[in-house]
Amino acid sequence: MISLIIPIYNEANHLEKFLQHIDALELPIEKELIFIDDCSSDASFQILSDFKFESKNQVLRQDRNCGKGAALRRGFVEATGEIICVQDADFEYKPDDINFLVKPLISNEADIVYGSRFSKNNRQVHRTFHYLVNRFLTLLSNLCSGLFLSDMETCYKIFKADIIKNINLESNAFGFEPEVTAKLGKLKIRVMEFPISYFPRNYIEGKKISWKDGVAAVWHILYFNFLVNFEKSFKKSLPKEYIATDSNLL
């Protein structure tokens, strides 16, 4: 089973339509939908609570607004699937892409899959500022983590559950992306990347990330790659097959 972890924060304007789409989504394996409402100030939680799901689901609510990273941490704990996927609650990403992103994990050809908005096979036109910032952050992350990615900041990250559940995650806001990438770079794992569809929103449409998050991401990349040691990054229950032989966890 695959668990889709879906943070929600003030998405009422389009949430009903999104829920209809994600609930009807057909995947190669059974799916579980886990929604974490991050203390929305609009009608998002009421819409979630009233929606009649056909899929297996959990609807959770944070006591206070803590950020995307905190919501994802809670979702990872609650997930029961052997595969876990991060999904945003908007239409910037195309949920149908999960169908091919998940296949390498089902066939045990990969441990982690990233969906890339910037792959050479993707002809999507991007907004210049966000494109340049994302490419810079990805380059810096690659130099620090040793993982050669084209899109570190992508939403679509799909994990084997026994990996993501055993990473000690700290970031509460958008620092999740550089943090998890830095920590994955410390493991002995198989990572694949595939092109995905992407339809960027503007701030009027509800986009929440800003230039301040980009500045913070630089610090997160440096901090989690160089200032946090291996033993602090992972739980003792992390399967040994993912740990390099020189690790302190062995």
| 2-242 fold | Spore Coat Polysaccharide Biosynthesis Protein SpsA; Chain A (3.90.550)
* Per-residue pLDDT tens digits for 127-170: 567 788 999 999 999 999 999 999 999 999 999 999 999 999 99
Which residue's entry shows tokens 């092109």? Answer: 195
Please report the sign of the dihedral spanned by the C-alpha atoms of residue 171, residue 79, residue 50, residue 52. Answer: positive
Q: Which range, of 32-41, 148-157, 213-222, averages the lowest pLDDT? A: 213-222
195-216 as b/e: b if 16+ CB within 10 A: bbebeeeeeeebeebeeebbeb
Per-residue pLDDT band at 85 (split at 50, 70, 90): very high
Q: Which of 57, 56, 42, 53 is nearest to 11 (CA)?
A: 42
* Across 84-93, average pLDDT: 95
List beta partners, residue 159.
84, 112
What would the pLDDT profile of 177-203 be if each residue is shown by its tens digit? Answer: 999 999 999 999 999 999 999 988 564
* Per-residue tokens: 133: 């910032």
Please give the mean pLDDT across all residues of the chain.
92
Position 224 scores a pLDDT of: 97
| Dist CA 159 CA 84 (whole Å) | 5
Domain ranges of the chain: 2-242
Q: What is the pLDDT of residue 121?
A: 62
Q: Is the pLDDT of residue 114 over 50?
A: yes
